[in-house]
Structure formats: structure tokens, C-alpha cells
């Protein structure tokens, strides 16, 4: 079922939004218990959610299965939990990740714990789609939130960085019997708005495929330093790697793709080779998932590391509005170039 390498399939170039939509469409066709629930996702003449992911789906599946809700995030999450417990497979969403704080109780106290409290009798197969990342909208529409959820036992955490991964991972998330927090970066959707977006489109095969959780992808091989990055930061890492190559520094870039479960093995193997690790995330530095990864790698690879693991992350501030400050806030490829050079003693 998992299709890790695309062979002779027909390939289409899709945006992340299109890829996600296709994943949802395929899963909804395959399994009647799959449905979407969220704000403004299926309104006729509307936008298909804040980022067009569900656009057009209500025409095929009707408004019962593309279920528009009141503005009630706690309610949406709690209802998704209940529906999942009773045999459905809800794909819930919040329009911007920042609103997820309203739903934390249902996600952490119920979704993540009911299986445990029932000693394994229940399962909660739901997906919560959570758009993250700074995109010029100020402090309450900008946060990266993965780290909060990495800390919650019972939740899986997924962070696709491109269309191919987005589709394959979302299909896996929908079929997973556990609550999955699915983080999507706003600037990667590929929507055509002004000032928006990196091109995260990618070749997506026509043939069905799923991607397993817990399998990192080596985006680029290298010898001198390993850079682990997710979501938008994958692009910063890749362009830093190009720049560094010009300077004779060979960078291995790894995208873990899922943070829970985490493919520590692939990262360790890389660090064994490069002896240096840089972790990059847009989430705030302190208490971010980079700390967890750094600690695990250090603990396993203590003797191979030539220098301590370095983190590059957003500073410990809310997200500022002014683009000039926001750009400063979000880590970029120059930060990575500079850090890599310094880690290699070449700054």
C-alpha cells in the first residue's frame, strides 16, 4: 500500500492544497465513514476553508459529509472525538492553527486519553488539520504549534513539506486509528494570493499511494553537516545547502515528515556520517521540538558529535506583524548558512 518511490506512474504537478484535496477526495470515495467538519469548508460560493483545501468537495459529497460548522472550535474538536469514537473518521480543521488553543481540552483530555482510559477498548480515528506559520497576519494568525502536540502522549504529529508528502501522509492519517495532528504551513499551500508562498508543488502520481508515518526523507545527501527541518524550513535548508555547496560545504538535509512517530534512526545514521547536526524549526526556540530531538541525538550519538547540536528557531517572542520584523523572526537560509559555517569552524 505504501508507495515510497514513484516509478512509471503518470505524474501531475499539484500544489499542496490540491494534493490534500485529492487525498480527502480519494479517502471519502473509498470509505463512507470519512467526512470533513470545520468552518466555511463547504459553503456554496465559499472558499473551501481558509486555504481552499476542501473547495468543490461539497459538490461531490454533499453538505452532510462536508459539514460546515458554527465558529466553535471546542465544539468541532469534541464532536470529531465523539464521531470518531462512534465509528466515523472525521477530518476536522481550524482555519488558522492559532485557534487550536480553544480546542486543547478536547484534544488533550479526550482525544488523546479516551483510548487509554478505556484500557484499549476505544479508538479515536480523527485527523485535525492545523495551518501554521507566519504569513503577514500578526500575532494571532501566525503561530507554529507542533511542539505543544509533540508533548502530548496519544497524539500523532505530521508535518508535510510538499505536495507529494502532503497527499501520502494525509491518506495515512485518515486511515490511522489514532488522533493525528496534521500541520500544514500556510505559505506552502501554493495558493496564488499576493506575496504568498513558496512553490511547494510537486510531482504527484495518479496511482494511489500512501506514505508511512515515522519515515524521514533525505532531501539531499551530504557529508559535512546534517540539517533537520520541517515544513517551510525544509526550503530554507535546501537553499542554504546550495549556497553552502558553493563554499565547499556539503550538507545533508533531512525532513522527518512526522514528529510523532519520529524516525530517529535515519537522523542518527546521518549524524554518524557528518558528526554535526543543525535543527531548524519555525516554532519558537525554547521548549520546541528541536530540544527533544537534540537531546535524543546527543544521548545516542554523544561520541560522534564534533560539536553540540545547534538549533535554529524563531526567537521567544510572539509573531510580529510588520513584514520586516516577521522576516527577522522567521529563520531563513542565511541563518542556516551562517550557522553551518560556524559549526564547521568556517565562519
Partner 1 sequence: MEKRLPREKLIEMYRKMLRIRHFEDRIYRLFLSGTMPGTIHLSQGQEAIAVGVCANLSKDDIITGTHRSHGEALAKGVSMKSLMAELFARSNGCCKGKGGSMHVGDIDVGMLPAIAIVGGGIPVATGIALAFKMKRLDRVAVSFFGDGASNEGAFHEAINMGAIWDLPVIYVCENNLYGASTHVSKVMKLKDIANRAFSYGIPGVVVDGNDVVAVYEVARKAIDRARKGEGPTLIECKTYHIGGHSRSDPRQYRDKEEEKRWLAKDPIPRMKKKLIATNILSSEKSENIEAAIEKEIDEAIKFAQSSPSPKPEDALRDVFA
Ligand X SMILES: Cc1ncc(C[n+]2csc(CCOP(=O)(O)OP(=O)(O)O)c2C)c(N)n1
What one-character-per-residue DSSP string does 131-163 give? EES--SS-TTS----HHHHHTSTT-EEE---SH
Which cell is 68 given? 460546515
195: left (phi over 0), alpha (psi -120 to 50) or beta: left
Q: Which of 25, 154, 208, 338 binds partner 1 (CB under 8 A)?
A: 154
What does 269-321 look like in DSSP terms, one character per residue? HHHHHHS-EEEEEEEESTT-HHHHHHHHHHHHHTTT-SS--EEEEE-SS---S
Q: Reply yes or no: is the peptide bond before residue 27 cis, omega within 30 of 0.
A: no
CA atoms within 13 A on the CB side of 220: 23
* Nearest distance in Å: CB 99, a copy of itself: 8
Which x/- pattern over 40-69 shows residues binding ligand X (rule: CB under 6 A)? ------------------------------
Smaller CB separation from ligand X, 99 or 209: 99
Q: Does 30 bind partner 1 (CB under 8 A)?
A: no
What is the C-alpha separation between 315 and 318, in angstroms, rounded?
8
CA distance 147 to 260: 10
Asked whether 229 and 241 are in contact (CB, 8 A), the reply is no
Query: With CB cut-offs between 5 and 8 Å by kind, which of ligand X, partner 1, a copy of itself, none does residue 324 bind?
Result: partner 1
d(C-alpha 344, C-alpha 308), whole Å? 11
Contacts with partner 1: how many residues (CB under 8 A)?
79
| Residue 99 lies near ligand X (rule: CB under 6 A) | yes
Question: CA 318, 170, 219 angle in degrees (round to 5)?
Answer: 75
- Interface pattern 300-339 for a copy of itself (x via CB under 8 A): --x----xxxxx---xxxx-x-------------------
284 binds, among a copy of itself, partner 1, ligand X, none (CB under 5 to 8 A by kind): a copy of itself
Per the structure block, which three cell numbers stand in for 233? Answer: 524550513
CB of 296 to a copy of itself, least distance (A): 8
Among residues 18, 73, 93, 282, the one that binds ligand X under rule CB under 6 A: 73
Q: Does 40 bind partner 1 (CB under 8 A)?
A: yes
Strand-pair partners of 311 = 279
Whether 167 contacts 20, CB under 8 Å: yes
Q: How far apart (Å, rounded) are the C-alpha atoms in residues 245 and 248?
A: 5
327 binds, among a copy of itself, ligand X, partner 1, none (CB under 5 to 8 A by kind): partner 1
Task: Answer yes or no: 141 catalytic.
Answer: yes
The item of a copy of itself, partner 1, ligand X, none sharing an interface with residue 290, based on CB under 5 to 8 Å by kind, is a copy of itself
Using CB under 8 A as the binding rule, whether residue 192 contacts partner 1 is answered as no
Does 183 contact a copy of itself by CB under 8 A? no
Assess 95 for contact with ligand X (CB under 6 A): yes
Question: Interface with partner 1 by CB under 8 A: which range of 8-16, 139-147, 263-271, 339-347?
Answer: 139-147
Q: Which residues are catalytic?
A: 141
Q: Which residues bind a copy of itself (CB under 8 A)?
A: 74, 98-99, 101-102, 104-105, 107-109, 112-113, 116-117, 138-140, 147-148, 150-154, 260, 284, 286-292, 294-295, 298-299, 302, 307-311, 315-318, 320
Q: Which residues bind ligand X (CB under 6 A)?
A: 39, 71, 73, 95, 99, 102
Amino acid at each position: 500500500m505504501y508507495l515510497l518511490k514513484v516509478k512509471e506512474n503518470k505524474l501531475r504537478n499539484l500544489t499542496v492544497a490540491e494534493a490534500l484535496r485529492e487525498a480527502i477526495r480519494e479517502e471519502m470515495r473509498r470509505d463512507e465513514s470519512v467526512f470533513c467538519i470545520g468552518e466555511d469548508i463547504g459553503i456554496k460560493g465559499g472558499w473551501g476553508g481558509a486555504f481552499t483545501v476542501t473547495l468543490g468537495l461539497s459538490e461531490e459529497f454533499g453538505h452532510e459529509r462536508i459539514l460546515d460548522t458554527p465558529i466553535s472550535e471546542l465544539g468541532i474538536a469534541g464532536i470529531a472525538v465523539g464521531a470518531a469514537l462512534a465509528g466515523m473518521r472525521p477530518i476536522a480543521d481550524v482555519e488558522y492553527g492559532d485557534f487550536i488553543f480553544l480546542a486543547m481540552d478536547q484534544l488533550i483530555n479526550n482525544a488523546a486519553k479516551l483510548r487509554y482510559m478505556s484500557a484499549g477498548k476505544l479508538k479515536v480515528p480523527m485527523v485535525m488539520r492545523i495551518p501554521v506559520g507566519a504569513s503577514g497576519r500578526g500575532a494571532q494568525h501566525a503561530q507554529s504549534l507542533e511542539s505543544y502536540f509533540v508533548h502530548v502522549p496519544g497524539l500523532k504529529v505530521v508535518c508535510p513539506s510538499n505536495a507529494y508528502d502532503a497527499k501520502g501522509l494525509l491518506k495515512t492519517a485518515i486511515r490511522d486509528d489514532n488522533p493525528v495532528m496534521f500541520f500544514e504551513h500556510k505559505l506552502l499551500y501554493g495558493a496564488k494570493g499576493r506575496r504568498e508562498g513558496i512553490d511547494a508543488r510537486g510531482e504527484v502520481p495518479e496511482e494511489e499511494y500512501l506514505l508511512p508515518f515515522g519515515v524521514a526523507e533525505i532531501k539531499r545527501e551530504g557529508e559535512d553537516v546534517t540539517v533537520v527541518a520541517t515544513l517551510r524550513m525544509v526550503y530554507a535548508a535546501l537553499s542554504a545547502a546550495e549556497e553552502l555547496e558553493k563554499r565547499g560545504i556539503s550538507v545533508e538535509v533531512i525532513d522527518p515528515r512526522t514528529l510523532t512517530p519520529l524516525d530517529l534512526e535515519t537522523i542518527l545514521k546521518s549524524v554518524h556520517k557528518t558528526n554535526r547536526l543543525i535543527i531548524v524549526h519555525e516554532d519558537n526556540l525554547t521548549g520546541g521540538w528541536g530540544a527533544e530531538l537534540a537531546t535524543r541525538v546527543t544521548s545516542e550519538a554523544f561520541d560522534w558529535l564534533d560539536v553540540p547540536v545547534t538549533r535554529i528557531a524563531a526567537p521567544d517572542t510572539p509573531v510580529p506583524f510588520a513584514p520586516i520584523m516577521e522576516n527577522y523572526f522567521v529563520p531563513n537560509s542565511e541563518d542556516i548558512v551562517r550557522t553551518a559555517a560556524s559549526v564547521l569552524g568556517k565562519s
